[in-house]
Amino acid sequence: MIKISVYYPNADGKTFDVTYYRDKHMPMVQRLLGPLGLRGLGIEKGLSGGAPGAPAMYLCVGHLLFDTVEAYQAAFKRHGKELMADVPKYTNATPQVQVGEVVLQS
């Protein structure tokens, strides 16, 4: 299983509309990528850093699950431009993407 994690860094002046992301963007991701191999998705809203009172490193993190890297790449090649065009509607942070292999999930 492959997990695509999209990190939205927290910094001065950066904003993130979690409601739009949850109610509009992620349903669009599901609609477009679901038929192309998307197995699941999730959202984490940043609350704080590890130390008491520290700000969250990320405003939000989105997760997408695919069986293979190739399935993700094919899906994103087909709909990536449309998905990226939606980003300014919910954030002014530049997304950072990590592709990882899930080695344990319970």
For the chain, domain boundaries: 2-101
Please give the pLDDT value at position 105: 85
User: Which residues are bridge partners to 8 per DSSP?
Assistant: 60
**Claim: this prediction has a pTM higher than 0.85:** yes
pLDDT tens track for 42-77: 999 999 999 989 999 999 999 999 999 999 999 999
Question: Which CATH number does 2-101 carry?
Answer: 3.30.70.100
Separation CA 14–CA 105 (nearest Å): 31
Distance of alpha carbon 76 from the chain centroid: 13
What is the distance between the alpha carbons of residues 60 and 21, in angstroms, rounded to a whole number? 10
Q: What is the pLDDT of residue 63?
A: 98
Over residues 6-20, the mean pLDDT reads: 98
For the segment 35-48, the average pLDDT, to the nearest whole number, is: 97
Mean pLDDT over each residue of the chain, to the nearest integer: 97
Q: What is the pLDDT of residue 34?
A: 97
Helix (H) or strand (E) holding 63: strand 58-66
* Residue 39 confidence class, pLDDT cut points 50, 70, 90: very high
